[in-house]
Amino acid sequence: MTVIANDTVVKFNYTLTNDAGETLDKSGAEPLAYLHGHHNIIPGLEAQMAGKSAGDKFTATVAPEDAYGEFVAEAVQSVPRANFQGVDNIEVGMQFQSQTDDGHVMLVTVKEVNDEEVIVDGNHPLAGQTLTFDVEIVEVRAATADEIAHGHAHGVGGHHH
């Protein structure tokens, strides 16, 4: 039986909940596939997957620093509405790409809008949250040379070329 280790492809079903027990996400009709050891899933979940095998079911609790990071208050900023030229209707929840001073592109989410300014949040929507995953490992197999070279799983549940 193959156990989860670096360069294995893992297919798993999951339900993700927050501290309040609210379901935030879950796998769809097909299990999610990822290449272990290649940073394709959050580090805290990947670490808890290691050593498991097909048929295993477990609950993984992941702290913010091992998931999407701590909430950074400085990432919430007021931007002049004039910066959104060409966008007539800006609504709370919309997401935009923004470029930082050092040239990195980041995704920001609109938190508030008024006539003069737009409050945007550059944090990941799950930043600062402890996450709980109920996981069922469906399949574990050795990765192909192509998957290792590309850094992700191919085929159903993984990346398609």
pLDDT value for 98: 84
Q: How far apart (Å, rounded) are the C-alpha atoms in residues 118 and 91?
A: 9
pLDDT value for 160: 58
How large a percentage of the chain has pLDDT more than 70?
96
For residue range 117-134, list pLDDT tens digits in order.
999 999 999 999 999 999
Residue 158 pLDDT level (bands cut at 50, 70, 90): low
Element holding 147 (H helix, E strand): helix 145-150
The closest alpha carbon to 46, from 3, 4, 1, 2, belongs to 4
Q: How far apart (Å, rounded) are the C-alpha atoms in residues 53 and 24?
A: 25
Q: Are 118 and 73 in contact (CB under 8 A)?
A: no
Picking from 12-21, 52-61, 82-91, 131-140, which range would have the lowest pLDDT averaged per residue?
82-91
| Whole-angstrom Cα Rg for the chain | 19
73-121 domain in CATH 3.40.50.10440?
A: no
Identify the residue whose tokens are 């300014």: 117
pTM of structure: 0.84
Q: How far is CA 117 from the centre of its chain?
A: 29
Number of other CB atoms surrounding residue 41 within 10 Å:
19
| Length of the chain in terms of residues written | 161
Annotated domain spans of the chain: 8-68+127-150, 73-121
Task: Tell me whether domains 8-68+127-150 and 73-121 share a fold.
Answer: no
- For 8-68+127-150, which CATH class? alpha beta
